[in-house]
Amino acid sequence: MNRRTFLETSAAGLACSSLAATAADIANGPTKRVALIGSGWYGKVDLLRLIQVAPVEVVALCDVDSKMLSGAAEIVAKRQKSGRRPKTYVDYRTLLKENKLDLVIIGTPDHWHALPMIAAVQAGCDVYVQKPTSIDVVESQAMLAAARKYDRVVQVGTQRRSTPHLMEAREQIVSKGLLGNVAHAEVCCYYHMRNRENPADSSPPETLDYDLWSGPAPRRPFSEICHPRGWRAFMEYSNGIVGDMCVHMLDTVRWMLDLGWPTSIVSQGGILVDKDAKANTTDTQTACFDFDDLQVIWQHRAWGHAPDPDYPWAAFLYGDKGTLKLSVNRYDFIPRGRGGKPIHREVKMELDEYPEDKTEKDLERHVAPAVRVHMIDFLNAVAKRSRPVADIEQGHISSVSCILANLSQRLGGRTLRWDPQTHTVIGDPEANRLLSRPYTAPWIHPTPDTV
C-alpha cells in the first residue's frame, strides 16, 4: 500500500491543489486508534480505504453477526500494517466502554446510525458515519446537536463531494461560470436495485443476534432478504431508494451550487410495478426539492430503461450557457451555442496504485478513489479541528430533505413547507408528528435536548 504513489497519481490531477500536501501530512502523521461498528459490505469498504491512506491501528470491530464479524477481523489483520487481529464485539456500547479510540466508522443499516454515532462522540471520538444520517428527522437533529455539543468532527459518507472528477467539474465548470444561470437540476436513479423476491419468513441464522440487529426499529419477522445487505428493501430499516441514492445526488447538486435547505418538498410514487415483491419500498417515485429560484427534480424507477444509458444514476445541471451531466463514472459538459467546447472526463480507477482493489470482494472499484479522498478530508479536519467537506450539518440537510420527500409521498403527495429554524413542517401537525419514529423498547429515541 504505497501512500506516496497516491500523492503522485490520484492527488496530482484533482481540482483541490492542496490535496497532495494534505495527503502527505496525513500519511506521515500520528497513528490513530480506530474501531468499526457494522462490519458488513460498506463498513469494510470504508475501513480498508482508511487503512490505505493513513497510519491507523484498527483495535476493535463490532457486529451482531458473529460470522461476518470474524471474517472482517481476519481481513483487517491481513491488511493493516501491524498484522494484529482486532478485538471483536457484539454490542457497540461495550466496545466504546472498553477501548480508548480516536476514530469510529459506522457502517450499520440506517436504523442503527444515530445511537452509535451519538455514543461515539460522547466517548470523545471523531466519527465517519454512512449516509443517510438517520432513519427520521429528529434522530438526525440529535446527531448534529451531539457533534456540536462534544466538539467532534463528523464526516458523512456522501463521498461525491470527494470524487476527483466531480471536484474538477465543480471547480473548472460550475465555479468558472461555464453553465451561466442554473435554474433547474435533475437527479435520478434507474438501477433495478429493488428486491423482487417474495420468500416466506424464516428463522434468523444462528450467527445473527436478530433482536440486537433490529434494535430500535419496528419489529417484523426475519426475512432472508434483509440480511446480509438486503435490508434496504424495507422501510423499517432504511429510507428506501430515495434515502440510499437520491441523498448522494441531491447532496452533489447542493455542493455544486452551494445550496442550503429547500423551502418546500413534494413527492409522489409507490409500488406500481413489482406489487408481488416482499419489499415495501417504492419502485417508482418522483420528488421536487424547491430552492426558490431553482428546483431539483428526483426520479427513480426500479424497472424499465434509463432515458440516458450513460447516466442511469446521475445529476444534471441545466444552465442558460450549457448542461453538465454528472455521475460516479464520468462527467460531460455540453455548451450551448457554437462558441464553447464540450468537455468529457472519465473516472480514474487506481488499480495499479492500489492492487488490493483488484481482488477485494464486492468493492466498487470506480468509487474507491473517492472514498480515499473522503477519508483524507476527514482526517485533515480531525487534525485541524475544522469542518470536513461532508460535515454532519451538510449530511443532515441532504438526509432530512430525502426523509421529508418520503414523508410527503406517505402523506399522499402533499407539499411540505419546511422551516429549518424550528425544524418543523409549516402548518402541518400530522407531518410534524411523523418527524420522529417511535423506538422499540428498551431503546430510547435521542433528541437534540437529550444528547
Say if residues 310 and 321 touch (Cβ distance below 8 Å): no
pLDDT at position 337, please? 85
End-to-end CA distance of the chain: 39
Residue 5 has pLDDT above 90, yes or no: no
Give the pLDDT band (50/70/90) at residue 13.
very low
In which region does residue 151 sit, left (phi positive, over 0), alpha (psi from -120 to 50) or beta (all else)?
left
pLDDT value, residue 6: 36
Give the C-alpha separation, 139 to 346, whole Å. 37
- The continuous run of DSSP H or E covering 403 comes out as helix 392-410
* Residue 255 grid coordinates: 455542493
Amino acid at 251: D
Residue 440 contacts by C-beta under 8 Å, 6 or more apart in sequence?
214, 215, 216, 217, 218, 219
Q: Cα torsion at 254, 258, 262, 263 (round to 10°)?
A: -170
Confidence of residue 34 (pLDDT cuts 50, 70, 90): very high
E strand or H helix that includes residue 381: helix 368-384
Instruction: Look up residue 310 and give its DSSP letter.
Output: T
- 340-374 confidence digits (pLDDT tens): 899 999 999 999 999 999 999 999 999 999 999 99
Dig out the grid coordinates for 130 from the structure. 454512512
Alpha carbons 128 and 370: distance in angstroms, whole number: 14
Distance of CA 348 to the CA centre of its chain: 21
User: Scanning the structure block, which residue is given the C-alpha cell 494484529?
Assistant: 84
User: What per-residue confidence (pLDDT) applies to 328?
Assistant: 98
Predicted confidence (pLDDT) per residue in 317-338, tens digit? 999 999 999 999 999 999 998 7
Burial level of 202, CB count in 10 A (0-12/13-18/19+)?
A: exposed
Which pLDDT score, from 0 to 100, does residue 17 have? 54
Element of type H or E holding 317: strand 313-319
DSSP state of 243: I
Please state the three-class secondary structure of 95-144 as a single string.
HHHHCCCCEEEECCCHHHCHHHHHHHHHCCCEEEECCCCCCCHHHHHHHH
Q: Is the pLDDT of residue 33 over 60?
A: yes
pLDDT band at 89 (very low <50, low <70, confident <90, very high): very high
Is there a contact between 419 and 137 (Cβ–Cβ < 8 Å)?
no
CA 67 centroid distance within chain: 25
Point out which residues pair with 130 in neighbouring strands: none
Please report the pLDDT score of residue 14 as a whole number.
40
**Predicted local distance difference test score (pLDDT) of residue 3:** 35
Q: What percent of the chain has pLDDT over 90?
A: 94
Tell me: pLDDT of 222 over 50. yes
The pLDDT of residue 338: 79
DSSP state for residue 415 in the 8-state scheme:
-
Q: Which residues lie across from 419 on neighbouring strands?
A: 424
DSSP string, 155-191: EES-GGGG-HHHHHHIIIIITTTTT-SEEEEEEEE--
3-state secondary structure of 226: coil
pTM, to two decimals? 0.95
Domains in the chain and their CATH numbers?
Answer: 3-161+368-391 (3.40.50.720), 164-194+224-352+395-433 (3.30.360.10)
Q: Which amino acid is at 226?
A: C
Check residue 436 and give its pLDDT: 98
Read off the pLDDT of each residue in 145-149 and give the average, rounded to a whole number. Answer: 98
Grid cell listed for 347? 473516472
Phi, psi of 350 (to 5 degrees): -115, 50
Q: What is the arithmetic mean of pLDDT over 128-151?
A: 98
Question: How do residues 387-408 score in pLDDT, each as one tens digit?
Answer: 999 999 999 999 999 999 999 9
> What does the pLDDT read at residue 391?
98
pLDDT score, position 340: 85
pLDDT at residue 444, as a whole number: 98
C-alpha closest to that of 376 among 52, 132, 101, 143: 52
205-234 mean pLDDT: 97
